[in-house]
Copies of this chain bind each other. A is one copy, B any other.
Amino acid sequence: MTMLSLNRRKALSILGALPLISGIALRFDAALAQSAASAPLLPSWNDGATKQSILDFVAAITREGSPDFVPPAQRIATFDNDGTLWVEHPIYTQLVFALDRVKALAAQHPEWTDAQPFKAALEGDMSTLAASGQRELLALIMATHAGMSTRDFEKIVLDWIASARDPRWKRPYTELVYLPMVELLAFLRANAFKTFIVSGGGIEFMRPWTERIYGVSPDQVVGSSIKTKFEMRDGKPELLRLPEVDFIDDGPGKPVGINEHIGGRPIAAFGNSDGDLEMLQWATMANGRRFGLIVHHTDAEREYAYDRDTNFGRLDKALNAAASNKWTVVDMKKDWKRIFAFE
């Protein structure tokens, strides 16, 4: 019923420009498709081989009777978040959140003024922070992400995401999402894909806002997690966030997280860094038509330019693998007409 023929595909692409419809599968009635018949596909993408590779893939797997045809139930696409759907430079947004939380909680923790990494966080000493090991960063995450109920943490995230501003663009971080990728998410959903986020970031940090920003509901978000514990408190059930790592959804963890949360194997995967290498291998190195895409940050002027030499979103092995696996590599500067919706 939702196996869209090629001529409908074009009609439906307008949905990328519509406000995201929350919660339930998008539905397209005849009238809407009719009125959208003349809208261009993926309007923020420049014409060329990159855009064409996306259109060709979707055309092939939705064409009934084609050897490449994939039934809707198997149309699973997975997207990294940091650097693939939104800006990750100069540092991951979730780390900005953690540093803001350290400042907010400092009065209750006088011991932090003398202990690293909290001292560096409080002083805004980014070079010390950048040189921190995993143990220090974990201490920072646990001190700011654990010790409250899931409900309280959701409120903390929502309050922060509504008020925090990125220093370069002076805008909420949720406006620093890539418009071409938001169009791509909607385009895939219009072709009966389920679109999942599979991120190294915290699952509970993303879920409160992914539906509003990306049209991705909480159950379609996979991420790193800390353990939680069920408890009755004053006769009311609560889930408490514990200072203990549950799962790291990065690198070889991404196929594991995909299997645990989604069950099915993606036929398309979208990333931008070495942390996405195994996810792209898992999605594309299998029978049938598959699609892998790497966002290469090449636009220092409109966004950032980085690949092999960065702490945040290093793209090295995965860039080499893209060539041998024939993954599409987005040259951000060349392939994206617009980067942000506010431009």
Q: Which residues of B contact A281 (CB under 8 A)?
A: 232, 237
Count A interface residues, CB 8 Å: 50
Q: How many copies does the complex hold?
A: 2
CB-contact partner of A263 in B1, B196, B221, B259, under 8 A: B221
Interface string of A182-200 (1 = CB under 8 A from B): 0000000000101010000
Whether A229 sits at the interface, judged by CB under 8 Å, is: yes
B278/A255 in contact, CB under 8 A: no
- Interfacial residues of chain A within 186-237, with CB under 8 A of chain B in the complex: 192, 194, 196, 203-204, 207, 211, 217-221, 225, 228-230, 232, 235-237
CB distance from A81 to the nearest CB of B (A): 15
A219/B73 in contact, CB under 8 A: no
- Residue from the set A1, A2, A235, A260 with the largest chain B CB neighbour count within 10 Å: A260
B236/A259 in contact, CB under 8 A: no
CB-contact partner of A237 in B71, B235, B278, under 8 A: B278
CB-contact partner of A217 in B73, B207, B246, B259, under 8 A: B73
CB-contact partner of A24 in B21, B25, B230, B282, under 8 A: B25
Whether A35 sits at the interface, judged by CB under 8 Å, is: no
Binding site for B on A (CB under 8 A): 1-2, 21-25, 27, 71-74, 150, 192, 194, 196, 203-204, 207, 211, 217-221, 225, 228-230, 232, 235-237, 239, 246, 252-253, 255-256, 259-264, 278, 281-282, 285-286
